[in-house]
Amino acid sequence: MGYDPGLKKLITRVEASRPARVAAVKRGEHFRSLTLEERDELLKAFHPDFRADAKRELRVGLNKGAVYPNELVDLLESRSRLDVAAVDLERVDYDVDLLIVGGGGAGCSAALAASDAGVEDILIATKLRLGDANTMMAEGGIQAADKENDSPVIHYLDVVGGGRFANRPDVVEALVQDAPLVIAWLEKLGVMFDKTADGTMRTLHGGGTSRKRMHSCGDITGAEIMRTLRDEVECRPSIKILEFAPAVEIIKDQEGKAAGAVLYDLDREQYVVVRAKCTVISTGGFGRLHLMGFPTTNHYGATADGLAMAYHAGCELVFLESSQFHPTGAIYPEQIVGLLITEKIRGAGAQFLNVEGEQFVYPLETRDVASSALIRECAPSEKGGRGKGVITPSGRVGIWLDSPMIDILRGPGTVRSDFPGKFRMYDNHGIDISREPMLIYPTLHYQNGGVTINADASSQDVEGLYFAGEVAGGIHGQNRLMGNSLLDVCVFGRRAGASAAAKIPTVELGALSLEHVRKWDEEVARAGLESERSAPILFPDYRGKVM
């Protein structure tokens, strides 16, 4: 298929400006990055977080009064999908020490840490298959300050600067301190990181990083990490795995401690009661809610189930007013709209260009700033934009990402060797990204906020409950930097598993209860919010929708 003649003609403008851009990079000259004031102004004018018309006030629960995107409020204001009367808590199907809900990077890390700490009875319950998770979809890398010119303190400052200075300090400290340990742990388990001939880890810059600390495995870093964690989990006799069994509500005991969860067995179409001394929720994020109609990079199961269950259980949420739109989602061809084009491509030298073939933003601005600049470049002038986007045959508007710069700057064959996943994806559609640029536009990528946790991954509000991975909030403030999510799943997954392991011997559970779920439904009804909607939704509903 490839590009049609109209787009090919526009590509000649990209090619025409390329020699001067390459020469500038070789001289060490880069497009000017924005001042803090300019960033603030740009974000307020163009970032979707600041679209007041797409948000409303939440009317129930601990965060009542917070203003979140409509799709998220719809979820959080729904009654429970569990009919409490249909569950017999006297009939326990699984009685375990540790229940882990979610089988992605965070869930597997938690299981391995708990198993290492001697917990012998661990159950991972997952909605799809083990490893069907955003961890698997992550491409460009994982950050860790493990080189001589770097330190966890510098990493800390980058994280907080990227997070619009809103991050919770204790959890950021945990993230950056554990990072070098996580890289060593993953390598020991078998992750094949990119290295130079002498065995040194190859590292690159991501947006907003002041040191090259992005460790990668080609452009399939998440898949490589997930493969390794999954293999290790599957070898451990202490870890049982239940697939196609999403959790629908957390169970508490009569004293209000977490005591397991009600699962829904998708094959048998029946509820399953799990009693557990400790429970880890690692269900991922909300990409499949398609906030504000954006396409997403996320896997099919990313429907914020953990947020809904935690909220029903009385957990506070933090920073959900902000969401991450990855600047480089594919918008052409139609079959791949919304899919991730890794930021590592820009770390390696690719630049953003408008329809005239002009640069308009520094390629390694933080994601919130880069996405806002792209949205401004594409928006028509009557909406305050510059109207300089490229229009695709189906009418989408996007920006060029000039990937051929990479081979010119780093040597022929680099795109093919360092970005095998993207090279192949585009090659399947007749586009050689080492010779032709890609067309991109921001896509919904990450849930910046989530459930409030302590630095040991324990819940601030419910004893015996732990959160790890995208469902947890506070770490990334209002904008996460690239490579800190693969890191976060491992850091807080391991911390959750270790913390639960330390707690388990002390836990005495009382009678199981779903009283909090009954009360939740009452609150929703009292607020006059009863509707057809119930949560968690478990799967996105695409009937009648074009994304």
Active site residues: 326, 346
Instruction: Decide if residue 482 touches ligand MEZ (CB under 6 A).
Output: yes
Q: What is the dihedral of CA 288, 425, 372, 69, to 10 degrees?
A: 0
Segment lying near ligand MEZ (by CB under 6 A), choices 194-202, 241-249, 258-266, 478-486: 478-486
Q: What is the token pair recorded at 33?
A: 């990055």
Instruction: Decide if residue 139 touches ligand MEZ (CB under 6 A).
Output: yes
Whole-number minimum distance, CB 214 to ligand MEZ, in Å? 8
Which residue is associated with the tokens 């849930």? 447
Question: What's the length of the chain?
Answer: 547
Instruction: Decide if residue 477 touches ligand MEZ (CB under 6 A).
Output: no
DSSP, res 413: T
Whole-number minimum distance, CB 280 to ligand MEZ, in Å? 22
Instruction: Decide if residue 366 touches ligand MEZ (CB under 6 A).
Output: no
Per-residue x/- marks for ligand MEZ, 330-359, CB under 6 A? ------------xxx---------------
Whole-number minimum distance, CB 466 to ligand MEZ, in Å? 22
Cis ω on the peptide bond leading into residue 152 (within 30° of 0)?
no
What is the spatial distance between Cα 384 and Cα 354, in angstroms, rounded to a whole number? 16
Segment lying near ligand MEZ (by CB under 6 A), choices 1-9, 135-143, 256-264, 523-531: 135-143
Instruction: Decide if residue 140 touches ligand MEZ (CB under 6 A).
Output: yes
Segment lying near ligand MEZ (by CB under 6 A), choices 75-83, 137-145, 160-168, 263-271: 137-145
What is the spatial distance between Cα 379 and Cα 356, in angstroms, rounded to a whole number? 15
Whole-number minimum distance, CB 410 to ligand MEZ, in Å? 18
272-303 residues labelled b (16+ CB within 10 A) or e (exposed): bbbbbbbbbbbbbbbbbbbbbebbbbbbebbb
Give every CB contact of residue 74 below 8 A, 6+ residues apart in sequence: 533
What is the spatial distance between Cα 13 and Cα 7, in angstroms, rounded to a whole number? 10
Subset of 251-290 contacting ligand MEZ (CB under 6 A): none
Query: How many chain residues bind ligand MEZ (CB under 6 A)?
Result: 10
Whole-number minimum distance, CB 40 to ligand MEZ, in Å? 23
Whichever of 342 and 448 has its CB closer to ligand MEZ, that residue is: 342
CA 352 → CA 52, 205, 303, 358, distances in Å? 28, 16, 31, 8
Whole-number minimum distance, CB 358 to ligand MEZ, in Å? 24
Residue at shortest CB range from ligand MEZ: 140
Choice from 138, 313, 431, 501 touching ligand MEZ (CB under 6 A): 138
Taking the CA atoms of 434, 194, 445 and 125 in sequence, report the sign of the dihedral they define.
positive
Residue 236: CB atoms within 10 A of its CB come to 15
Per-residue x/- marks for ligand MEZ, 484-513, CB under 6 A? -x----------------------------
> Which residues sit at the interface with ligand MEZ, rule CB under 6 A?
138-141, 342-344, 482-483, 485
